[in-house]
Amino acid sequence: MRPSPRFTQSALVGWARDLGPDRLSSAALEAALSPTMARLKLPQGILESLTGVSYRRLYPADLPTHYGGLQAAKKLLAANPDLTDKIELHFSTSVGRDFLEPSVASTVAAALGLGPQVKSLDLGSACLGFVDGLEMAARLIEAGALEYALVTAGENSRPLLENTLARLASPETTIQTFFRNFASLTLGSGGAAMVVGPAALHPQAPKIKGVVSLADTNSNDLCQGDFGGMETEATKLLIAGVKLAAATFNLGQKTYGWTDQTFDAVICHQVSRVNTDKLAQTLNIPDGRLFKTYPEYGNMGPVAAPFSFDLAFESGFLKSGQTVALMGIGSGLACSMMELELP
C-alpha cells in the first residue's frame, strides 16, 4: 500500500486491555515435558533461558478465543459510554477463530450491543492484525469516510498450548520436532481494544501521524499454525523478520524523515528476548526506550502491541510530549510501523 502523507485527522481516543487469569510459568511447562526433555538430553530451564519468557497467562479452555477482546471492549466502552453510538466500523483482528463463519467481529459486535449501522469485519494479518486495523481505520477517517472505529483482538492460547504439550510428550518426538514447536510454548492469552476517532474532537488523545508497511510474502511458510499446533523455523524467521523491519524503518525515513532519534518510546509486538533484542539492535533502539512485556506475558499475538501500549501508558513509561512508535511483525511476513504523538 502506498505510504500516506502525514495524518492530521486521526487519534487514539480510548483503549483497554484484558488478561487471562491463570499464570503459568515456563518451569511448570518444562515439568510437564520432563520425560521428553530427559530423553532428548535437554537441560531444565532451557525454555526461559532461550526465550526470556518466565510466565504467560491463560483463559479457561471453555472460553472462546475472542473473549479477551470482548472484555477489553466492554471495559473501554464502560469508561467512555458516549462512544458506543458513534462507532461506525469494527475490526476484529484476532488470530484465533472458533468457527469459520460467521465473522468473529459479528459475534463481538452483538455482545457489545453495537447497532445495525456498524460494519463489523474480520481483519487478519497474524500478529500484525491489530496495528493494521488501526491503520485502516485511520486511513478511512483521514479520507472523511467515517469518524469512529473500534478495533479488537482476543487470544486464548490454551488449546494450542495443550495440543503442543500432548504432541511433544510423545515418545516419537525428535529434537527437530521439539524445536519446531518451541515457539508455541511462549504463547500467552489476553485481549485489547482501541477506538480511533477524530483528533479535532479529542485534543488530549494520542495523534496518529503516519504509518509505513512492507511485506515479504516469500517467507509465508516460516511460521504456520492452527489450534492443533504451530511450527516455526525460528532462525530463518528471525533473520527474515528483522530484515523486513529494517526495510520498513528505511521506508519511514524516506516517507516521514524518521531518524534513530525520532522515537522517545517504542511499543512493539514481542515474541521473545532474542527477537526483541535483535530488533532493537537493528533499529538502534536504546534499551530504555523499548517497553518489554514478554517476560511476564509471553507472545500475545496481535494483542501484544495494544496491550503493551495500555500497560506502558498506565505505568508512566509513556509521557506527555513523546513521539511513540507502535509496530509489529506478523507471519506472512508483514511489518507495519505507526508514529504516534502524545499531547
**Which residues belong to the active site?**
101, 127
Largest CA distance in the chain: 62
Q: Phi-psi category of 30—alpha, beta or left, where left has phi over 0 and alpha has psi -120 to 50?
A: alpha
- Residue 34: count of CB within 10 angstroms of its CB: 12
Helix (H, G, I), strand (E, B) or coil at 152: strand
C-beta separation of 136 from 101 below 8 A: no
Helix (H) or strand (E) holding 276: helix 273-283
C-beta separation of 229 from 88 below 8 A: no
d(CA 196, CA 214): 22
d(CA 306, CA 326): 8
286-297 exposure pattern, b = at least 16 Cβ within 10 A, e = fewer: eeebbbbbbbeb
Residue given cell 486511513 in the structure block: 139
